[in-house]
Structure 1
Amino acid sequence: MQLDFTTFSLPLFATATETADSSLVLAAVLLSMVVIYLASKVGGELSNRFGLPPVLGELVAGVVVGISVLHLLVFPEGGADSSNSLIMTFLQTTGGLNPAAADAVFKTQSEVISVLSELGVIILLFEIGLESNIKDLVAVGVQASVVAVVGVVVPFTAGTVGLMAFFGIPAVPAIFAGAALTATSIGITSKVLSELGRLNSKEGQIILGAAVIDDVLGIIVLAVVASLAKEGSVDVGKVIYLIISASSFLVGAIVLGNVFSNTFVAIAKKLKTRGGLVIPALIFAFVMAYFAAAIQLEAILGSFAAGLVLDETDERVELQKQVLPIADILVPIFFVTVGAKTDLGVLNPAIPSNQEGLVMAVFLIIIAILGKVVTGFSVFGQPQINRLAIGVGMIPRGEVGLVFLGIGSSIGILSKPLEAAIIMMVILTTFIAPPLLRLVFPEPTTATAIQEMLLDNSSGKSLVIESPDSQDDK
């Protein structure tokens, strides 16, 4: 049976504008997905060849196909329109897309890709939650809290005061820029740690816990600064609400893990059809993500909490295997999209309006890096821990920094130079963290290498030394 794709209507997106042809929207989305997957695979493979985390290659590939270079994947929030998109041009040439309707198709296609990107990061954090352990996170809870608080207070204070003192920036824009410095991209850092096999190390657990707390603190800071910018005063009631709701949500997720795990396993065992384990798990993850978003937290915190809860179940290993291919499909969309939205044009010093921004960017980048690196040295009672790795793991701002920037731009309190400086800070901290993490985390010694070192040539026998992990597996 031949399928006619024109029969698959997209009423949700078609109603967004009367001129958007649903079949052409579908065609544009499909072409965008081809670009995303090709970019992620080529970028990831090349990055891996050079001994760098594949996620860095995906980010760089996103930059190449995005607004900065090839203009294959562009988005209207960056100021682009259909004339800037090579995919729209291609559809006009080959698909009969009317130039008058191109803008409507472009906007709808961009919305679809952005939604898929958000879904990708939700799945990523759910996967990371499954790979983590509540007990380990609780064990480093105090230290992670200290790291998070230092990682918020130091860059926020230094950035705000420095912008006011050295550049004469008014108080409210300076405070907003300082708030953007507090962010930490849990998605990027956790992905790199997972690729390095360090997610469950002591350093990895502190970074992960601190990044979660940092996200919560960042949301509270953002709410305070946004209220100050809009109304000239802070809504104390809203701030108290955010603090209580964030704390209750995270604590409730931990408590839920002890209650829900057995119930989940019992339900999953009764389901005999395809997807009997992974579908209920995704339902739970999406419900938790919804609740987090509903109480004005980030949806990714909800999916991460859901992963932590299900990590306590007996079906954890099998669930990880079933979630992995879903993550392989959706997560690359997120990283390539982050790169595609990055406009490197703000780095061009030949443009006069960029010159002031470049100077401020250098200042913000220094504060952004040092303000997070010092957090590792706030860890106490762990003489053998890699403090530099903890600080470096907190550096990337990624999508969280872009959220701060987007809100600041929408309010209209940021000047063009300051906006460009924040963009450059987000870009550099996002791209520098993955290779730095590779440098500060030495390669672990494998059991195979130890066996080769202790090979007894005289007897022709090797001394077999099993790693603790292999003994645990047995």
Structure 2
Amino acid sequence: MNSIITPLGNFPLLPFSLPELGLPLLATEVPADSGPIVLAGVLLSLVVIYLASKVGGEITKSLDLPPVLGELIGGVVIGVSALRLVVFPETGATAADSQIMTVLQWVGGLSPADIPAIFATQSEVLSVLAELGVIILLFEIGLESDLRELQKVGYQATLVAVVGVAVPFGVGTAGAMLLFHVPAIPAIFAGAALTATSIGITSKVLSELGQLKSREGQIIVGAAVIDDVLGIIVLAVVASLAKTGEIDVLNVIYLIVSATAFLLGAIFLGKFFNKSFVAVASSLQTRGNLVIPALIFAFVMAFLGNVIHLEAILGAFAAGLVLDETDTRKELDEQIKSIADILVPIFFVTVGAKADLSVLNPAIPTNREGLVIASFLILIAILGKMVTGWVVWGDWAVNRLAIGIGMIPRGEVGLVFAGIGTASGVLSKPLEAAIIVMVILTTFLAPPGLRFAFKGQAQAEAVAEAVPQGSDPS
């Protein structure tokens, strides 16, 4: 079974193959002597990506906004929507659209016939680096999370995730059919795209705000992980509908059982693995005696998650949770940060680079219908996740606004739904544009929204502490 490799992770549970959809499994064959040119293209792309990451991050940081928002915006500037320095085939861009390919052709004296293959190979390399970046990010988030705290909010996180999937999916699907007369299967695709939550974006913002270990942060991260599992199941269902018009019930049952067994099994076995890991790391005498075994474990877990038709990032997150229980966690966390600083920006910048803002242009006739549908999808996308904050019970002091906002960003997960729907031929151009607009706006809304939610909470707590006990708060 083939996988669609995305900047967020692996979505291997597609009940159809890529050739059936007219998509190539491999890039066009690269000429044997083009290796140095491909490497040059990757290096030049990384220079542009890192510059966009730092400039964007510094600007948003100076505006008291999360740096990850600057990385996303930096990606938009260098991507398909603006300068077209770093573009990718899945956005519809070709080698002729890439300014970096133009530079390589001029520097290397390449023939026009060689450029498409080099462009495809370079794009694949950057996508793999972005994939590694999000795997490292989720491993780092797992290390920074507290398994005991996650277990305390497990029932609340589960409820938040279930409501955050069911409400947008049900309302979005019904609304598309009743208000815009969209046929059933395309409407289900639109509803499914509303269920996603980008755990990579949300967890990064929480970490930057210092709220990852807060009760709200643990609920959001736990819910986002469960939401990701539910999203894979929904994706398998809608992909089955797109191909055959029927749901593969056995495949859905397999997904539910394997996802539950994998996550619970990893956490349970981790209790026995911790001492062995510390013993192995202590016995090694060369550089990297701690970080290399940790990465081996993280990549093995990511591999297993991929093999059993889950996401690689779920395996990496589970690995981080397991190693969070070891005595070496703090030292390991510091060592992983330097690796994350290298790879994670590639992930966020490429997400921005793939966001095609041309779908927001009402001057293009085909966009107008899409923008009308997008307005409805955006409303449901926001409200459908915001209600999740108010289903948390048992702790009235929890910041429900922050929980709701933290579940909003769809990120690259939503784009995967749109991409599969387009490739299968079930999405019309207006509906495809509407889904892309919804994904873009919800992705960029979450970072400043979380900053606002937690800032308001901090101000309220400061006022409460300043008021003498027993006095009139007014």
Both proteins in one fold, TM over 0.5: yes
Of the three residues 431, 448, 455, the one matched with 1:435 is 448
Instruction: Please name the residue that 1:68 is paired with.
Output: 81
For the residues of structure 1 that align with 2:218 and 2:267, how far apart are their CA atoms? 15
Amino acid at match of 1:309: V
Larger radius of gyration: 1
Of the three residues 93, 97, 100, the one matched with 1:84 is 97
Instruction: Please name the residue that 2:138 is paired with.
Output: 125
Of the three residues 391, 395, 405, the one matched with 1:392 is 405
Given that residues 53 and 195 in structure 1 are in contact (C-alpha distance below 8 angstroms), is that contact kept between their aligned partners in structure 2?
yes
Given that residues 14 and 21 in structure 1 are in contact (C-alpha distance below 8 angstroms), is that contact kept between their aligned partners in structure 2?
no
**2:346 aligned with 1:333:** yes
CA shift for structure 1 position 445: 6.4
Of the three residues 102, 106, 109, the one matched with 1:93 is 106
Given that residues 146 and 379 in structure 1 are in contact (C-alpha distance below 8 angstroms), is that contact kept between their aligned partners in structure 2?
yes
For the residues of structure 2 that align with 1:165 and 1:285, how far apart are their CA atoms? 46
Describe the SS at the equivalent of 2:455.
coil
Describe the SS at the equivalent of 1:296.
coil
Instruction: Please name the residue that 2:259 is paired with.
Output: 246
Of the three residues 190, 196, 199, the one matched with 1:186 is 199
Instruction: Please name the residue that 1:461 is paired with.
Output: none
**2:423 aligned with 1:410:** yes
For the residues of structure 2 that align with 1:342 and 1:222, how far apart are their CA atoms? 21
Amino acid at match of 1:271: L
Instruction: Please name the residue that 1:471 is paired with.
Output: none
Describe the SS at the equivalent of 2:158.
helix
For the residues of structure 1 that align with 2:199 and 2:206, how far apart are their CA atoms? 10
CA shift for structure 1 position 98: 1.9
CA shift for structure 1 position 444: 7.8
CA shift for structure 1 position 314: 0.2
For the residues of structure 2 that align with 1:347 and 1:19, how far apart are their CA atoms? 41
Instruction: Please name the residue that 1:467 is paired with.
Output: none
Instruction: Please name the residue that 2:324 is paired with.
Output: 311
Given that residues 14 and 22 in structure 1 are in contact (C-alpha distance below 8 angstroms), is that contact kept between their aligned partners in structure 2?
no
Given that residues 20 and 104 in structure 1 are in contact (C-alpha distance below 8 angstroms), is that contact kept between their aligned partners in structure 2?
no
For the residues of structure 1 that align with 2:285 and 2:291, how far apart are their CA atoms? 12
Instruction: Please name the residue that 1:366 is paired with.
Output: 379
Question: Which residues of 2 match residues 131-142 of structure 1 at below 5 A?
Answer: 131-142=144-155
CA shift for structure 1 position 19: 6.4
- Across the two proteins, how many residue pairs are aligned to each other? 438
- What TM-score do the two structures reach when normalised by structure 1? 0.90
CA shift for structure 1 position 16: 3.8
For the residues of structure 2 that align with 1:71 and 1:310, how far apart are their CA atoms? 41
For the residues of structure 1 that align with 2:211 and 2:312, how far apart are their CA atoms? 25
Distance change (3 Å), C-alpha of 1:445 and 1:79: closer
Given that residues 27 and 120 in structure 2 are in contact (C-alpha distance below 8 angstroms), is that contact kept between their aligned partners in structure 1?
no
Amino acid at match of 1:282: L
Q: What root-mean-square deviation, in Å, do the aligned CA atoms of Structure 1 and Structure 2 show? A: 1.7
Instruction: Please name the residue that 2:173 is paired with.
Output: 160
For the residues of structure 1 that align with 2:60 and 2:270, how far apart are their CA atoms? 37
Given that residues 301 and 316 in structure 2 are in contact (C-alpha distance below 8 angstroms), is that contact kept between their aligned partners in structure 1?
yes
Describe the SS at the equivalent of 1:52.
coil
Instruction: Please name the residue that 2:393 is paired with.
Output: 380
For the residues of structure 1 that align with 2:316 and 2:175, how far apart are their CA atoms? 37
Instruction: Please name the residue that 1:285 is paired with.
Output: 298
CA shift for structure 1 position 17: 2.9
Describe the SS at the equivalent of 1:441.
helix
For the residues of structure 2 that align with 1:19 and 1:265, how far apart are their CA atoms? 45
Distance change (3 Å), C-alpha of 1:14 and 1:382: closer
Given that residues 31 and 114 in structure 2 are in contact (C-alpha distance below 8 angstroms), is that contact kept between their aligned partners in structure 1?
no
CA shift for structure 1 position 133: 1.1
Amino acid at match of 1:102: I
For the residues of structure 2 that align with 1:382 and 1:140, how far apart are their CA atoms? 10
Amino acid at match of 1:396: P
Amino acid at match of 1:371: G
Describe the SS at the equivalent of 1:233.
coil
For the residues of structure 2 that align with 1:378 and 1:16, how far apart are their CA atoms? 53
Given that residues 117 and 330 in structure 1 are in contact (C-alpha distance below 8 angstroms), is that contact kept between their aligned partners in structure 2?
yes
For the residues of structure 2 that align with 1:273 and 1:399, how far apart are their CA atoms? 39
For the residues of structure 2 that align with 1:127 and 1:444, how far apart are their CA atoms? 26
Gap runs ≥5 in structure 2: 1-25, 467-474
CA shift for structure 1 position 100: 1.4
Amino acid at match of 1:130: L
CA shift for structure 1 position 439: 0.2
Instruction: Please name the residue that 2:288 is paired with.
Output: 275
For the residues of structure 1 that align with 2:280 and 2:29, how far apart are their CA atoms? 39
Gap runs ≥5 in structure 1: 1-12, 454-474
Given that residues 55 and 191 in structure 1 are in contact (C-alpha distance below 8 angstroms), is that contact kept between their aligned partners in structure 2?
yes
Instruction: Please name the residue that 1:106 is paired with.
Output: 119
Question: Which residues of 2 match residues 255-270 of structure 1 at below 5 A?
Answer: 255-270=268-283
- What TM-score do the two structures reach when normalised by structure 2? 0.90
Of the three residues 216, 221, 225, the one matched with 1:212 is 225
Distance change (3 Å), C-alpha of 1:180 and 1:131: same
Amino acid at match of 1:253: A
CA shift for structure 1 position 443: 7.0
Instruction: Please name the residue that 1:321 is paired with.
Output: 334
Given that residues 65 and 340 in structure 1 are in contact (C-alpha distance below 8 angstroms), is that contact kept between their aligned partners in structure 2?
yes
CA shift for structure 1 position 95: 2.3
Given that residues 27 and 117 in structure 2 are in contact (C-alpha distance below 8 angstroms), is that contact kept between their aligned partners in structure 1?
no
For the residues of structure 2 that align with 1:443 and 1:322, how far apart are their CA atoms? 33
Distance change (3 Å), C-alpha of 1:436 and 1:15: closer
